[in-house]
Amino acid sequence: MIRRVVLGLFSVGVLGVMGGLAGPISVRAQDGQTMTAATSEMRAVRRDLPMTKAIRAAFEAGTRDGSGRPGPNYWQLEADYTINVSLDPARHTLTGTESIVLHNNSPAPLTQILLRLDHNIFRGLVPRGLSVPAENTDGMVVTRIAIDGTVVDLNPPPPQGGRAGGGNADAPPPLSVTGLDQTLATINLATPIAARSNATLEVAWHTQLPGGPDGRGHRMTQRLGDELFQPTQWYPRIAKYDDLRGWDTQIYLGPAEFYNNFGRFDVSINVPAGWLVSGTGVLQNPKEVLTDKALEILAKPLSSDDPFTVVGDDEVGPGRATAVGTGGRLTWHMMADRVNDFAWLTGRKLTWTRTRATIPGPTPKVIPINMLYLPEHASNYERAGEVARHALQFYSALWAPYPFPQFTLQDGPSLGMEYPMVINSNQGAADHEAGHQWWPMMVGNNETWYGWMDEGFNQYMNILSAADTRGQAANLDGRGQSYGRTSGDEFEAPMMWAANLAGPMYSFQTYSKTPLMLSMLGGVVGDAEVQRAQSEYAKAWAFKHPSPWDYANFMSHSLKKDLGWFWYYWLWTTESVDGSITGVTSAGGKAIVAVRQDGQMPSPVVLKVMFKDETEDTFTFPVDVWFNGSRTYKAVLDLKGRPFDKVQLDPGGRFPDHNIADNAWPR
State how far the Cα of 534 lies from the Cα of 532, in Å rounded to an integer: 5
pTM: 0.92
Q: Lowest-confidence range among 14-18, 174-178, 218-222?
A: 14-18
Crossing angle (nearest 10°) for helices 548-559 and 527-540: 130
Q: What is the DSSP string of 443-456?
A: S---TTT-GGGTHH
* Cβ atoms 441, 477 nearer than 8 A: no
Rounded to 5 degrees, φ, ψ at 10 are -65, -40
Rounded to 5 degrees, φ, ψ at 369 are -115, 115
Amino acid at 429: A
Planar angle of CA 590, 594, 598, nearest 5 degrees: 160
User: What integer pLDDT is reported at residue 172 of this predicted model?
Assistant: 65
**Using CA of residue 14, residue 16, residue 19, residue 22, what is the dihedral sign?**
negative
| Cross-strand bridge partners of residue 607 | 619, 649
9 pLDDT more than 50? no
State how far the Cα of 591 lies from the Cα of 240, in Å rounded to an integer: 58
Of 117 and 7, the one with more pLDDT: 117
| Cross-strand bridge partners of residue 67 | none
DSSP 210: P
pLDDT in tens, 318-332: 999 999 999 999 999
The answer for 572, left when phi > 0, alpha when psi is -120 to 50, beta otherwise, is alpha
Rounded to 5 degrees, φ, ψ at 368 are -80, 145
Taking Cα atoms as reference points, which of 43, 6, 9, 7 lies closest to residue 579?
Answer: 43
Strand, helix or coil at 272? strand
Amino acid at 652: G
Taking the CB of residue 33, how many other CB atoms lie within 10 A of it?
Answer: 8
User: What integer pLDDT is reported at residue 156 of this predicted model?
Assistant: 78
pLDDT in tens, 179-231: 999 999 999 999 999 999 999 999 999 999 999 999 999 999 999 999 999 99
Rounded to 5 degrees, φ, ψ at 539 are -70, -35
- For the chain, what percentages of helix, strand and coil (3-state, to nearest 5) are there? 25, 30, 45
| Cross-strand bridge partners of residue 115 | 185, 238
Task: With residue 460 as reference, give the H or E element that holds it.
Answer: helix 455-469
8 pLDDT more than 90? no
Strand, helix or coil at 646? strand
State how far the Cα of 94 lies from the Cα of 642, in Å rounded to an integer: 77
**Using CA of residue 522, residue 525, residue 528, residue 529, what is the dihedral sign?**
negative
Cα separations (Å) of 510 from 48, 448, 499, 513?
Answer: 23, 10, 7, 7
pLDDT in tens, 21-73: 334 444 445 555 544 445 578 999 999 999 999 999 999 999 999 999 999 99
State how far the Cα of 81 lies from the Cα of 626, in Å rounded to an integer: 54
State how far the Cα of 630 lies from the Cα of 594, in Å rounded to an integer: 12
What average pLDDT does the chain have? Answer: 92
Planar angle of CA 9, 15, 19, nearest 5 degrees: 150
Taking Cα atoms as reference points, which of 419, 454, 444 lies closest to residue 233?
Answer: 419
* Cβ atoms 270, 87 nearer than 8 A: yes
Strand, helix or coil at 172? coil
Strand, helix or coil at 514? helix
4 pLDDT more than 80? no
User: What integer pLDDT is reported at residue 26 of this predicted model?
Assistant: 45
pLDDT in tens, 472-485: 999 999 999 999 99
State how far the Cα of 184 lies from the Cα of 238, in Å rounded to an integer: 10
The answer for 402, left when phi > 0, alpha when psi is -120 to 50, beta otherwise, is beta
State how far the Cα of 132 lies from the Cα of 410, in Å rounded to an integer: 22
State how far the Cα of 615 lies from the Cα of 190, in Å rounded to an integer: 78
Amino acid at 135: E
User: What integer pLDDT is reported at residue 11 of this predicted model?
Assistant: 30
State how far the Cα of 544 lies from the Cα of 551, in Å rounded to an integer: 12
* Cβ atoms 137, 210 nearer than 8 A: yes
pLDDT in tens, 71-104: 999 999 999 999 999 999 999 999 999 999 999 9
Taking Cα atoms as reference points, which of 348, 374, 371, 372 lies closest to residue 275?
Answer: 348
